[in-house]
Amino acid sequence: MKPDCILTADWHIRADTPTSRTDDFTAVMWRKVQFINDLADEHNIPILIAGDVGHRSQWPNWLVEKFMSIISDIEIIAIPGQHDLPGHNLDAIRQSGFGILKRAGYLNSTLLLNSILQSIAVFPYGTNITKTNAVIAMTHQMVTKGKSEWPGQVASSAKSLLKKFPDYKLILSGDNHQPFVVEYEGRLLVNPGSMMRSTADQIDHRPRVYLWEAKSNSVEAVYLPIEQGVIDRSHIDTKKEKDARIEAYTTRLSERYEVGLSYEENLKAYFEENRTRQPIKDRIWEACEI
| Residue 277 shares a structural domain with residue 133 | no
| Residue 139 shares a structural domain with residue 201 | yes
CATH number for the domain spanning 111: value is: 3.60.21.10
Q: Which domain holds residue 174?
A: 5-223
pTM of this prediction?
Answer: 0.80
Residue with the larger pLDDT of the pair 31 and 72: 31
**What are the tens digits of pLDDT across the range 158-183?**
999 999 999 999 999 999 999 999 99
| Residue 70 shares a structural domain with residue 112 | yes
CA 32 to chain centre: 15
| Residue 212 shares a structural domain with residue 77 | yes
Residue with the larger pLDDT of the pair 212 and 236: 212
**What are the tens digits of pLDDT across the range 97-110?**
999 999 999 988 66
| Residue 190 shares a structural domain with residue 270 | no
| Residue 195 shares a structural domain with residue 271 | no
State how far the Cα of 172 lies from the Cα of 139, in Å rounded to an integer.
6
Please measure the distance between the N-terminal and C-terminal CA atoms of the chain and give it in whole angstroms: 44
| Residue 274 shares a structural domain with residue 137 | no
Give domain status of residue 229, yes or no.
no
Residue from 67, 264, 78, 235 nearest 176 by CA: 264
Residue with the larger pLDDT of the pair 169 and 231: 169
How many domains does the chain contain in total? 2
Q: Which of 166, 194, 223 is the last residue of a domain?
A: 223
Cα–Cα distances (Å) from 122 to 114, 130, 141, 159, in that order, read 15, 10, 12, 19
| Residue 191 shares a structural domain with residue 277 | no
pLDDT at residue 250, rounded to an integer: 58
Give domain status of residue 137, yes or no.
yes
| Beta bridge partner(s), residue 122 | 138
Does 28 have pLDDT greater than 80?
A: yes
Q: Which of 196, 223, 250 is the last residue of a domain?
A: 223
User: β-strands 187-191, 143-144: how paired?
Assistant: unpaired
Residue with the larger pLDDT of the pair 5 and 261: 5
Does 259 have pLDDT greater than 50?
A: no
Contacts for 167 with CB less than 8 Å, ≥ 6 apart: 131, 132, 133
> Which residue type is seen at 216?
S
Give domain status of residue 207, yes or no.
yes
Cα–Cα distances (Å) from 239 to 6, 235, 252, 254, 261, in that order, read 40, 6, 17, 17, 14
State how far the Cα of 55 lies from the Cα of 216, in Å rounded to an integer.
34
CA 113 to chain centre: 23
State how far the Cα of 15 lies from the Cα of 55, in Å rounded to an integer.
9
